Amino acid sequence: AAIRRSSGDFVLSVDSDTTLASDVITKLAVKMRDPMVGAAMGQLTAYNRSDTWLTRLIDMEYWLACNEERAAQGRFGAVMCCCGPCAMYRRSCLLSLLDQYETQLFRGKPSDFGEDRHLTILMLKAGFRTEYVPGAVAATVVPDKMGPYLRQQLRWARSTFRDTMLARGLLRGLDRYLTLDVMGENLGPLLLGIAVVTALGELLFSHTVNWWTVLAIVTMTIIRS
């Protein structure tokens, strides 16, 4: 509704459980002055960081995702997911992509998850840059129990794997670093899962621990970090 009815140049995406710093809109709008920037996202923090050990870890995870992963992607002009809790879009770009965005399908069925990543990929495929603005800080409520957290992570993982397929052709026109980044984001968890299952299987059937498997898991974690 905002995209279709607004007469403004920009559309701000924000979640209902997110609190924006007073200068967020100004800082995002400055980045959007470049007509080739289709979207810009701010830095996310955990609003309820001090609630539990899990929320403190998630806050750290958000810091790494924003100030290392997104910052590195932004250096090459293509943040691969402008997160829904705090992102600004160029309205003229959105209008041209709206039909594709609203009819998003996965395996022939309407898809209702990962809409922020999907929209970012559509923006990049249309030839626009996506940027990260660390000074535009937004605090969002994060899960404080393992059940909701794992469900959230499952949704995000499904979105990542699904939209990687959508982005395959896009990567050829982007910096090679972004290809490496996308490969790491998708292959890393897969290889980690295989390694953990292998280690558990060996422990179950042989009652021994293969330290080479443990070393491989630790090495992959260090490389990823």
Residue pLDDT, tens place only, 65-79: 999 999 999 999 899
In a shared domain, residues 81 and 136:
yes
Residue pLDDT, tens place only, 183-216: 887 787 787 788 888 888 888 888 887 777 788 7
In a shared domain, residues 121 and 189:
no
Let me know if 204 is exposed, middle or buried by CB neighbors in 10 A (0-12, 13-18, 19+).
exposed
- % of the chain beyond a pLDDT of 90: 49
In a shared domain, residues 127 and 219:
no
Task: Tell me the whole-structure pTM to 2 decimals.
Answer: 0.83
> Number of folded domains in the chain?
2
Last residue of a domain, one of 173, 196, 212: 173
Give pLDDT, residue 139: 97
Domain containing 213: what range? Answer: 178-224
The domain spanning residue 48 has which CATH number?
3.90.550.10
